[in-house]
C-alpha cells in the first residue's frame, strides 16, 4: 500500500498550517476528509439536492435512492443481516442516547443495573446516568486492572442478577486497548443480557462483522471514519428496533396519524424523525467506498505498524509515561511527561504543526482512577506515517527543553 | 508566533514552583473554580482583616504552567491590598489579557506591572486565555462570596 497516494486524497495536507507541514495525530478526535467525500457534499447540494422519502419528483426519488444506498453500503460494510438494522443518527452520542432512552423506558425499573466499564467515554455514561435519576437504577463499572485493561473477568465480577444491559467501548480512546468484545458478548448472552458496543474508535480501525460478534447494539461515529460531521449510525438487531419504542417524534417516522392516536412507521423510518442529515449520509457512502478500496485489513496492518513504531519511540523517551499497557492496541497512545502539563505539551507541539489532543478526552472516570487530571494523546488514521511519530518525538524533546526537564 | 513570548522565564519559574500554594490558616473567604474542558482546578483562600485588607492569600489546585503561574503571581501581587484595590487590579488584568496592550492600574507599581505583563503572551493563544484567567475569576467569586464552584467555561 502506498501511503503517499492515500495521503494525496486528503486536501488538508496540501496546505501549510502556521507555516508547517501538518502532522495530524488527532484522528481519535476526528479524522480528516478525502476529497471525494468533500466533493460529494458539494455535488449533492449543487446538482442533486432534494429532500428524501417524501416527494415523487425526479430529484426527490434520486436523493432517496442515494440516501438508501448508503444504508445498504453500511449494512454490507459491518455485515449486518438486514439494511433496516441501520439507523442514521446525528452522531454516536445520539445513537447511545437513543438506546439508553428507549431501552430504559421499556425494560428498566427501580433497582435494575446497567454495567459499564471505567474506560467509557462520557457519551457512554451520561445517557445511562439520566436513567439513574429517572428510573432509580444503579450503574456499575467494571474495573481496569493494573495494566489499565478490561478483562472478561473484570466484567464477569460485576454482573449480577439485576444486570439488564452491558454497554462498553470497542477500543479505548485513552489507553488504546481493543476490548475482547466477542467473548464479553458471548458471556453476557449466556446470562441473557444484551450488549451495546460504543464503536466510535473501533469502527474506523477494525474489521466489523455484526453477525459474527453478535452484539445487540453498535454505535458508530461517521466523522471519525473519514466522513462528515453531524452523522452517526446505530446498528441494532431488528428484534430490538421492533420491540423498543420510538425515540423522537416527528415527520417521516409515522404510519398513520389521527386525533385519537398514532401508529409508527416501519423500520428504520420509525427511528429517523424529521429531515435527516441528508448530504452527510449521501457523502458517507464515499467514506465507506474509500475504506473498502484500501481494505480494512490493510488499514489495520498499516495503523498497527505506525502505532507500534510510535509506542517504541515514546517508550525510549525517558520522560514520557504511557497510560495503560493494552494487550491489543488500536491507533491510540496517551501519555504524560513528568513536570509538564498536557496542555503545555500540546501548545508547544502545535508550534511545530503537530496536532495532538490534551485533556481528559471525555474520560474523567478513567483519569480520576489513574490519579490524573489530564493526559496528552496521539492517535492515528490511514494517512499517518512513521515520520509523523519522529516529528512528534522531536517536538516532545523541544518541549522538554522549554520546560527544562 | 514565538513560544518564548508565551513561556517566559518567570512563568516557567512560577509554574514549576508556585508561591503560596497552600491553604491559609483561619481563612475567612474562599472559592473554587474549574475548567471542565481540561480539568484544571483552583481553590483560592483569603484571610481579610477587619478593614477588608488581604492579610493572607493562598491557593490549592492543579493545572498547566500558565494557570499555575497566573495564580501564583496573582497571590504575590494582591497580598496586602484592600478590597477596592483588589477589584481594580483584577479588572485591569482581565482587560489586558483579552485586549489591552498595557496595564493601567494605579494600585500596582512598575515592577509589579512588569511581572504581570509576562502573562500577556497568552493573548495570542485564544484557547489558553482561560488558563490564565481561572484564578482571577475564582478570586472575584471568593471576594463576592458567590458560594459556587465557578465554571470558567461559562464566563
* pLDDT mean over B133-144: 95
Provide DSSP, A92-127.
HHHHHHHHHHHHHHHH--TT-EEEEETT--GGGTHH
Contact in structure between A262 and A256 (CB atoms under 8 Å): yes
Exposure class string for A84-103: b at 16+ Cβ within 10 A, else e: bbbbbbbbbbbbbbbbbbbb
Q: What angle do CA B38, B39, B41 make, to 5 degrees?
A: 125
pTM confidence score: 0.94
Contact yes or no for A403 and B7 at CB 8 A:
yes
- Smallest CA–CA distance from A365 into chain B, residue: B39
> Considering the domain boundaries, does residue B93 fall inside one?
yes
Contact yes or no for A343 and B131 at CB 8 A:
yes
Decide if pLDDT at B1 tops 70.
Answer: no
CATH of the domain at B26: 3.90.1010.10
* pLDDT mean over B111-136: 93
Cβ partners under 8 Å of residue A42, min gap 6? none
Per-residue confidence (pLDDT) for residue B36, from 0 to 100: 82
Residue of A332, A325, A307, A310 lying closest to A396 (CA atoms)? A310
- Which of A344, A362, A377 to mutate against chain B (most B CBs within 10 Å)? A344
For A144, which DSSP code? P
Element (H, E) at A87: strand A86-89
Element (H, E) at B151: strand B149-151
Domain count, chain B: 1
CA dist., res. A271 & res. A284, Å (int): 19
Contact in structure between A163 and A353 (CB atoms under 8 Å): no
Contact yes or no for B66 and A403 at CB 8 A:
no
> Considering the domain boundaries, does residue B154 fall inside one?
no
Antiparallel, parallel or unpaired: β A332-337 and A163-169: unpaired
Per-residue confidence (pLDDT) for residue B38, from 0 to 100: 76
Element (H, E) at A255: strand A254-257
- Catalytically annotated residues of A: 362
Contact yes or no for B12 and A347 at CB 8 A:
no
* pLDDT tens column, A184-217: 999 999 999 999 999 999 999 999 999 999 999 9
Contact yes or no for B38 and A18 at CB 8 A:
no
Provide DSSP, B31-76.
EEEEETTTTEEEEEEEEE-TTSBEEEEEEEEE--HHHHHHHHHHHH
Per-residue confidence (pLDDT) for residue B149, from 0 to 100: 77
B152 touches chain A (CB under 8 A): no
CATH topology of domain A3-30+295-402: 3.90.1150
Q: Is the C-alpha dihedral spanning A157, A158, A160, A166 positive or negative?
A: negative
Contact in structure between A355 and A32 (CB atoms under 8 Å): no
Contacts of B41 in chain A (CB under 8 A): 373
Residue among B3, B7, B39 minimizing CB distance to A360: B39
Q: How far is CA A241 from CA A84, A99, A276, B36, in A?
A: 9, 9, 18, 35
Residue of B74, B59, B92 lying closest to B132 (CA atoms)? B74
- Smallest CA–CA distance from A373 into chain B, residue: B39
A397 touches chain B (CB under 8 A): no
CB atoms within 10 A of CB A146: 7
Domain ranges of chain A: 3-30+295-402, 39-292
Burial of B10 from C-beta contacts in 10 A (0-12 / 13-18 / 19+): middle
Burial of B108 from C-beta contacts in 10 A (0-12 / 13-18 / 19+): buried
Contact yes or no for A341 and B64 at CB 8 A:
yes
Contacts of B69 in chain A (CB under 8 A): none
Residues of the domain holding B105: 3-143
A71 touches chain B (CB under 8 A): no
Q: How far is CA B125 from CA A5, A208, A351, B3, B91, in A?
A: 34, 41, 11, 10, 20
Contact yes or no for B65 and A404 at CB 8 A:
no
pLDDT, tens digit only, all 405 positions of chain A: 787 799 999 999 999 998 999 999 999 999 999 999 999 999 999 999 999 988 999 999 999 999 999 999 999 999 999 999 999 999 999 999 999 999 999 999 999 999 999 999 999 999 999 999 899 999 999 999 999 999 999 999 999 999 999 999 999 999 999 999 999 999 999 999 999 999 999 999 999 999 999 999 999 999 999 999 999 999 999 999 999 999 999 999 999 999 999 999 999 999 999 999 999 999 999 999 999 999 999 999 999 999 999 999 999 999 999 999 999 999 999 999 999 999 999 999 999 999 999 999 999 999 999 999 899 999 999 999 999 999 999 999 999 999 998
Exposure class string for A171-198: b at 16+ Cβ within 10 A, else e: bbbbbbbbbbbeebbebbeeeebbbbbb
Antiparallel, parallel or unpaired: β A357-359 and A86-89: unpaired
CA dist., res. A153 & res. A141, Å (int): 13
- The complex's ipTM works out to 0.88
> Considering the domain boundaries, does residue B148 fall inside one?
no
Residue among B1, B12, B37 minimizing CB distance to A403: B12
* pLDDT mean over B60-81: 96
CA dist., res. A236 & res. A244, Å (int): 11
Domain A39-292 has CATH 3.40.640.10: yes
Contact in structure between B99 and B63 (CB atoms under 8 Å): no
Antiparallel, parallel or unpaired: β A138-142 and A113-117: parallel
CA distance A336 to chain B (A): 12
Alpha helices in B1-155 (DSSP H): 3-6, 9-16, 65-78, 83-98, 110-117, 129-143
> Considering the domain boundaries, does residue B25 fall inside one?
yes
Q: What is the number of H-type helices and E-type strands within chain A?
A: 14, 15
Contact in structure between A177 and A327 (CB atoms under 8 Å): yes
| Number of A–B residue contacts, CB under 8 Å | 53
Q: Is the C-alpha dihedral spanning A358, A359, A363, A365 positive or negative?
A: positive
Q: What are phi and psi of A165, to 5 degrees?
A: -160, 150
- Smallest CA–CA distance from B131 into chain A, residue: A343
Element (H, E) at A70: helix A58-77
Amino acid at each position: 500500500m502506498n501511503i503517499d497516494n492515500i495521503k494525496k486524497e486528503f486536501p488538508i495536507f496540501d496546505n501549510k498550517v502556521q507555516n508547517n507541514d501538518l502532522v495530524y495525530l488527532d484522528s481519535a478526535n476526528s479524522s480528516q476528509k478525502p476529497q471525494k467525500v468533500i466533493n460529494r457534499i458539494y455535488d449533492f447540494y449543487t446538482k442533486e439536492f432534494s429532500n428524501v422519502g417524501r416527494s415523487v419528483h425526479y430529484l426527490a426519488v434520486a436523493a432517496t435512492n442515494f440516501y438508501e444506498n448508503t444504508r445498504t453500503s453500511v449494512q454490507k460494510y459491518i455485515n449486518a443481516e438486514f439494511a433496516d438494522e441501520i439507523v442514521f443518527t446525528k452522531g454516536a452520542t445520539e445513537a447511545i442516547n437513543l438506546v439508553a432512552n428507549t431501552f430504559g423506558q421499556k425494560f428498566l425499573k427501580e433497582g435494575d443495573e446497567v454495567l459499564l466499564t471505567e474506560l467509557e467515554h462520557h457519551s457512554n455514561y451520561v445517557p445511562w446516568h439520566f436513567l439513574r435519576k429517572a428510573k432509580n437504577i444503579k450503574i456499575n463499572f467494571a474495573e481496569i486492572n493494573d495494566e489499565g485493561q478490561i478483562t472478561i473477568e473484570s466484567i464477569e465480577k460485576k454482573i449480577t442478577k439485576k444486570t439488564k444491559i452491558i454497554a462498553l467501548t470497542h477500543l479505548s480512546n485513552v489507553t488504546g486497548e481493543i476490548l475482547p468484545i466477542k467473548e464479553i458478548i458471548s458471556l453476557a448472552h449466556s446470562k441473557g443480557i444484551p450488549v451495546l458496543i460504543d464503536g466510535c474508535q473501533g469502527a474506523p480501525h477494525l474489521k466489523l462483522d455484526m453477525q459474527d460478534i453478535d452484539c445487540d447494539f453498535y454505535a458508530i461515529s461517521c466523522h471519525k471514519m473519514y466522513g462528515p460531521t453531524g452523522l452517526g449510525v446505530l446498528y441494532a438487531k431488528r428484534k430490538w428496533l421492533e420491540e423498543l419504542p420510538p425515540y423522537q417524534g416527528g415527520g417521516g417516522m409515522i404510519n398513520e396519524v389521527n386525533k385519537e392516536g398514532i401508529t409508527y412507521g416501519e423500520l428504520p423510518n420509525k427511528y429517523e424523525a424529521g429531515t435527516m442529515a441528508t448530504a452527510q449520509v449521501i457523502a458517507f457512502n464515499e467514506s465507506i467506498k474509500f475504506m473498502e478500496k484500501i481494505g480494512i485489513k490493510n488499514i489495520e496492518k498499516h495503523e498497527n505498524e505506525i502505532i507500534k513504531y510510535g509506542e517504541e519511540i515514546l517508550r525510549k523517551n525517558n520522560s514520557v509515561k504511557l497510560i495503560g499497557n493494552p494487550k491489543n492496541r488500536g491507533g491510540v497512545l496517551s501519555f504524560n511527561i513528568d513536570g509538564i502539563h498536557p496542555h503545555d505539551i500540546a501548545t508547544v507541539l502545535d508550534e511545530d504543526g503537530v496536532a495532538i489532543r490534551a485533556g481528559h478526552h471525555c474520560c474523567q472516570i478513567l483519569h480520576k482512577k489513574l490519579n490524573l487530571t489530564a493526559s496528552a494523546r496521539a492517535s492515528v488514521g490511514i494517512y499517518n506515517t512513521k515520520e509523523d511519530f519522529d516529528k512528534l518525538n522531536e517536538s516532545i524533546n523541544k518541549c522538554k527543553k522549554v520546560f527544562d526537564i | 508566533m514565538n513560544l518564548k513570548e508565551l513561556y517566559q522565564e518567570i512563568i516557567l519559574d512560577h509554574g514549576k514552583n508556585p508561591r503560596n500554594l497552600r491553604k491559609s490558616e483561619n481563612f475567612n473567604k474562599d472559592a473554587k473554580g474549574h475548567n471542565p474542558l481540561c480539568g484544571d482546578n483552583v481553590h483560592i483562600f483569603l484571610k481579610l482583616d477587619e478593614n477588608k485588607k488581604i492579610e493572607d492569600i493562598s491557593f490549592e489546585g492543579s493545572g498547566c504552567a500558565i494557570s499555575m503561574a497566573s495564580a501564583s503571581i496573582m497571590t504575590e501581587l494582591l497580598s496586602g491590598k484592600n478590597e477596592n484595590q483588589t477589584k481594580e487590579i483584577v479588572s485591569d488584568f482581565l482587560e489586558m489579557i483579552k485586549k489591552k496592550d498595557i496595564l493601567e492600574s494605579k494600585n500596582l507599581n512598575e515592577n509589579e506591572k512588569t511581572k504581570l505583563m509576562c502573562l500577556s503572551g497568552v493573548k495570542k493563544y485564544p484557547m489558553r486565555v482561560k488558563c490564565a484567567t481561572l484564578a482571577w475569576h475564582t478570586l472575584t467569586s471568593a471576594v463576592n462570596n458567590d458560594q459556587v464552584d465557578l465554571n470558567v467555561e461559562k464566563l
